[in-house]
């Protein structure tokens, strides 16, 4: 029995495939579409991060009310009411907003949450405030 060697022929089957140029064109189109969609997503990201400010201010509101029921006045101190500020992103932590009590008296208080970074690059730092009536307002929009 003899072994036959197959000589390479020019009529080999060609596999259907995409060329490198075609793949690069598709990737460029996808990249352009992503760049068009990305600015629209930054507002959604900003809104999601604003939930952190709202949650922390609602917590401050609850602690201030509790303090008010015990002492018949509101407090100017976050430590006094028992609020622990998580380290912000610029301090190496996770929190995006810095909480402060702007004013407190016998019958009212105002607390503020200010973003530590410009979330959408427009030069404005997102700021929320809450008062003793639990009115939550966005003072500086992102």
pLDDT tens readout for residues 4-14: 565 555 666 77
Cα separation values, 93 from 38, 79, 84, 85, Å: 26, 19, 13, 10
What is the C-alpha to C-alpha distance for residues 137 and 27, in angstroms, rounded to an integer? 43
DSSP of 12-45, one letter per residue?
Answer: PPPPP---HHHHHHHHHHHHHHHHHHHHHHHHHH
What is the C-alpha to C-alpha distance for residues 103 and 60, in angstroms, rounded to an integer? 13
- Percent of the chain whose predicted confidence (pLDDT) is above 90: 52
Q: How confident is the model at residue 98 (pLDDT cuts 50, 70, 90)?
A: very high
- Determine the length of the chain: 142
Q: How confident is the model at residue 137 (pLDDT cuts 50, 70, 90)?
A: very high
Question: Does residue 26 surpass a pLDDT of 70?
Answer: yes
Question: Does residue 119 surpass a pLDDT of 80?
Answer: no
pLDDT tens per residue across span 36-85: 877 666 677 777 888 999 999 999 999 999 999 999 999 999 999 999 98
What does R_g of the chain's alpha carbons equal in angstroms? 30
Average pLDDT, the chain: 86
What is the C-alpha to C-alpha distance for residues 129 and 133, in angstroms, rounded to an integer? 11
Predicted local confidence at residue 37, as pLDDT: 75
């Amino acid at each position: 029995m003899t072994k036959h060697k197959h000589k390479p022929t020019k009529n080999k089957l060609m596999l259907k495939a995409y060329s490198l140029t075609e793949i690069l064109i598709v990737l460029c189109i996808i990249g352009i579409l992503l760049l068009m969609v990305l600015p629209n997503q930054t507002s959604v990201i900003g809104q999601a991060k604003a939930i952190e400010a709202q949650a922390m201010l609602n917590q401050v509101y609850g602690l201030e009310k509790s303090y008010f029921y015990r002492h018949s006045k509101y407090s100017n101190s976050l430590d006094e009411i028992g609020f622990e500020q998580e380290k912000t992103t610029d301090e190496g932590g996770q929190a995006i907003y810095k909480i402060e009590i702007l004013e407190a008296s016998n019958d009212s208080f105002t607390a503020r949450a200010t973003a530590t970074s410009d979330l959408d690059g427009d030069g404005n730092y997102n700021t929320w405030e809450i008062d003793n009536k639990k009115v939550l307002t966005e003072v500086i929009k992102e």
